Amino acid sequence: MLNKLILVINCGSSSLKFSVINPIKKKILLSGLAENFYDNSSLIVWNFNKKKNKIKFNNKITHKFILNYLVDEILKKYLLLYNNIIGVGHRIVHGGEKFTNSILITDIVLKAIEKASVFAPLHNPIQVIGIKEIKKILPHLKSKQIAVFDTAFHQTIPIESYLYALPIKFYEKYKIRRYGAHGTSHKYVTKKAAKFLNIKLNNFNCISCHLGNGSSITAINNGKSVDTSMGLTPLEGLVMGTRCGNIDPAIIFYMFNELNLSIDKIYNILTKKSGMLGLTNITSDFRYIEENYFKNNNIKIATDVFVHSLTKYIASYSILMQNKIHAIIFTGGIGENSILIREKTIKKLKILNFFIDKKLNNKIKYGKIGLISTNLSRPILVIPTNEELMISQDTFKIIHNMK
């Protein structure tokens, strides 16, 4: 059953992830990553048939170069895969207000993705390059490319949760509003959780915590996103690995006016030097943080700030949904693996009838799916996310319906 494979492309700002997936069998046949594009340590690694391959490049590489390498040096060597790819799914970070679902990439769609670049300047332009390059190097698939947007799942959030209290023209004229992110992941784990708990998706209410280097939390009512923590860009919301999340915007003016920091420098501080890295002054890696929570006071304080911010969101989303939530979901590298963060957060939510089962919590990590709550608790689930699988399934569905 090989003849229905999807190539999934995820162009990051200085990396490119790729995979070839059988969306029906839910099987990842090949997966890989090229990274460190703009320094001299660039490399590509990929897994196929349980074998790991790694090639280092001695020069700076580009997304175009890697896409050509992927087709000529990898896919064409595994002809059984290459000949069975029927479509290409692209992860697109920002779809603006236009896209509420995944869509076939036409010239008009491509223009709209380019236009949304103002909100994701590090990602959308590169993703456009990816789409254009695939057109050239896989011409037989040029009209079988699908865009899957990180923002699409959040297009159901109501106006009171997406509007900022700025003069209204900034929304009406410039479309400054909350768009959210990680939509593909929140949608995927919500579906999985509803299935796990045997509740129909359109009756299912939950709070989904995607905790990774970038973290976001989403309130889901009747299977639809009704509020989310990331905003116009993925800088707002929870405390993250290196991003500050919510801060008083006046801090920026203080840094600019009183500390004479340039706008570029401030942007760099808020996105790359803040969050857990900034607070600990050591690392944003939760493996290290978890190991050193009781040994290092800065790490303890940073973790407590992280948990405080997460708890506040869970509590407020719970109230927004009239406390009618069926479950809390943890996903992303931290959500799937950090026993400490899950335990510390849930311990603060007793009043909402969430109780952690320590034994179960200790067991569930490294890709395992399962409950970590006691019998007395409402369900708390750990669900490994799989954005690539979701992209391949959306791509397959659209291509299948084109016939």
CA distance 142 to 87: 9
| Contacting range for ligand ADP; rule: CB under 6 A; set: 90-98, 141-149, 286-294, 295-303 | 286-294
CA distances from 22 to 82, 86, 131, 389, 391 (A): 12, 10, 21, 9, 11
**To the nearest whole angstrom, how small is the minimum distance from the Cβ of residue 254 to ligand ADP?**
29
Q: Which runs of consecutive H residues, i.e. helices, occur in 295-381?
A: 297-320, 332-337, 339-347, 358-363
Helix H segments across 238-296? Answer: 250-257, 263-272, 275-280, 286-291
Q: Could you say whether residue 97 binds ligand ADP (CB under 6 A)? A: no
Q: Judged by CB under 6 A, which of 338, 373, 377, 386 binds ligand ADP?
A: 338
The yes or no reply on residue 286 touching ligand ADP (CB under 6 A) is yes
Backbone angles phi, psi at 42, to 5 degrees: -70, 145
Binding track over 305-334 against ligand ADP, x by CB under 6 A: ---------------------------xxx
Q: Max CA-CA distance within the chain?
A: 64
Could you say whether residue 278 binds ligand ADP (CB under 6 A)? no
**Residue number with CB closer to ligand ADP (180 or 241):** 241
Number of amino acids touching ligand ADP (CB under 6 A): 15
> What is the smallest separation between the CB atom of 140 and ligand ADP, expressed in angstroms?
31
3 state SS of 207: strand
Binding of ligand ADP by 343 (CB under 6 A):
no
* Residue 155: CA count within 13 A, CB half-sphere: 15
Residue 212 lies near ligand ADP (rule: CB under 6 A):
yes
32 binds ligand ADP (CB under 6 A): no
Report the alpha-carbon distance of residue 193 to residue 185 in Å, rounded: 12
- Whether residue 150 lies in the annotated active site: yes
Position of tokens 């069975």? 84
Confirm or reject binding of residue 241 to ligand ADP (CB under 6 A): yes
Q: Quote the CA–CA distance of 118 and 202 in Å, as a whole number.
A: 34
| Binding of ligand ADP by 11 (CB under 6 A) | no
- Rounded Cα distance between 75 and 142, Å, is 16
**Which residues are 30's β-sheet partners?**
20, 48
Which residue, 223 or 241, has its beta carbon nearer to ligand ADP? 241
The residue (of 100 and 213) whose beta carbon lies closer to ligand ADP is 213
Residue 348 C-beta-side C-alpha neighbours within 13 Å: 16
Report the nearest approach of ligand ADP to the CB of residue 324 (Å): 29
Q: Are 136 and 68 in contact (CB under 8 A)?
A: no
* Of 23, 32, 130, 214, the one binding ligand ADP by CB under 6 A: 214
Candidate list 107, 150, 285, 357, residue with the active-site label: 150
Binding site for ligand ADP (CB under 6 A): 212-214, 241, 284-287, 290, 332-334, 337-338, 365
Question: Looking at the annotation, which residues are catalytic?
Answer: 150
